[in-house]
Structure formats: structure tokens, C-alpha cells
Chains A and B, each alone.
Chain A
Amino acid sequence: KQEVTQIPAALSVPEGENLVLNCSFTDSAIYNLQWFRQDPGKGLTSLLLIQSSQREQTSGRLNASLDKSSGRSTLYIAASQPGDSATYLCAVLNQGGKLIFGQGTELSVKP
């Protein structure tokens, strides 16, 4: 059974810092991995999607990497801003076609 774990559960950093969010999964047989952002009271916004054959994806200040063999992904946020404050969720699409989520990392960027 696929399990997705995110560490840390919460993170507080000063503005301008570079930071890394971690995601691990137990079954490497995945189709893709996706990082989402969730603002309080809102739905999920897709940030980056990495296909199983890819190693990383970049969008602006965000870079996500995928190491399928070790069951790990990282989301790197450069030069963090207060507007980056949100919960970040990692999810893997398993070969049954089901999206399995981690519990999220709550990020707070202080001005």
C-alpha cells in the first residue's frame, strides 16, 4: 500500500531564505508526482508535475526533483516571500490511477 510522508509538518522562515520541502513515498511504481499549494479555505493549485521518467521540473522560483529509486522528491523554493505562505502537498499517482497525498507541510514566511 502506497504511503506518502512529508517532512517537516510545519516550517517558519524569514523572507528571502531558500528552503526545501521533502516528500517520500514507499512504492516506486508511480506514474508521476505532483506538488500542490493550498491556501487556507481554498482548493488545491497544481505547482509542478514530474513524470516518472523525469528527474526535475522548474517553474519560476520553484524546482521539484524526483528520485524514484529512493522514493523521494524535494520542492525547492528560492528567495521565499510572504506570499509563499501556504500548505504544500505532495501527491503520487500510482499505477492503479489513484492520487495518494502526503499530509502537507505548512509554510510560513515572515516579513
Chain B
Amino acid sequence: EAGVAQSPRYKIIEKRQSVAFWCNPISGHATLYWYQQILGQGPKLLIQFQNNGVVDDSQLPKDRFSAERLKGVDSTLKIQPAKLEDSAVYLCASSQKAGYEQYFGPGTRLTVT
């Protein structure tokens, strides 16, 4: 069974630029999550999708971050414009249903200079 795929693995941008991350969850998993992990901290949930609907985006900085999950499969997370404090690893995870075990992708390491 293929795991959660993410791309790119690394990205370096200047502040005020925009960036997008892509996630392909495990086949058949209805729930998809995006987490932000700042160096030295645990991951923090940014947004949770159930199929193509948003369940929880309470921690998403909506003035600069956006996410979508068209057709209930792949998802993209966008930052525009980026700030220095957005430097982090962005992790995507999926689960069969909400509340079930989550499986994580390798993450995208973003550096904003």
C-alpha cells in the first residue's frame, strides 16, 4: 500500500513570495490533515478535510494561508505572501475516517529568507 506522498520535499523562497505544497493521501482515506511543525516543536494542525469539505481550519492563518481538496483526493496548501515565521516543515496526513489512526507523509521543509 502506497503511503502519503508530498511534494516538493524542500523549498526556499524569499519573504513576500508565494509557495504551494501538494499532498496525495493513502487511497480510500476520507480525512486529510495539514500540519505545521516549527523547529523544536510538535506538529500543529492547520486544517482538516473530510472528503472535500473543511472540518476544522481554526488554526489556519487565513489572511495568507489557503488550502483546498478538490474531488476529495489530492490537496494543495498555499502561502501568499510568505513571512519569515512560516519557515517550518509542513506535514500532510490522512486517515480512513476522522478519529482513526493518521498516517503521515515525509513533509515539505520550507525556508523563508
Contact between B42 and A89, CB atoms less than 8 A apart: yes
Contact between B104 and A44, CB atoms less than 8 A apart: yes
Which A residues fall within an 8 A CB radius of B?
4, 31, 34, 36, 41-46, 49, 89, 91, 93, 96-99, 101-104
Overall SS of chain A's interface = strand
Contact between A101 and B44, CB atoms less than 8 A apart: yes
In this complex, what residue of A is CB-closest to B101? A49
Contact between B99 and A93, CB atoms less than 8 A apart: yes
Interface size, B (range): 20 to 34
User: Contacts A42-B107, A43-B106, A44-B104: A103 and B91 contacting too (C-beta < 8 A)?
Assistant: no
In the complex, A43 Cα to B35 Cα: how many Å?
Answer: 11
Contact between A43 and B91, CB atoms less than 8 A apart: yes
In the complex, A19 Cα to B43 Cα: how many Å?
Answer: 24
Q: Is the C-beta of B56 less than 8 angstroms from some C-beta in chain A? A: yes
Q: Which residues of B contact A45 (CB under 8 A)?
A: 104
Contact among A41, A99, A104 with B45 in the assembled complex (CB-CB below 8 Å) = A99
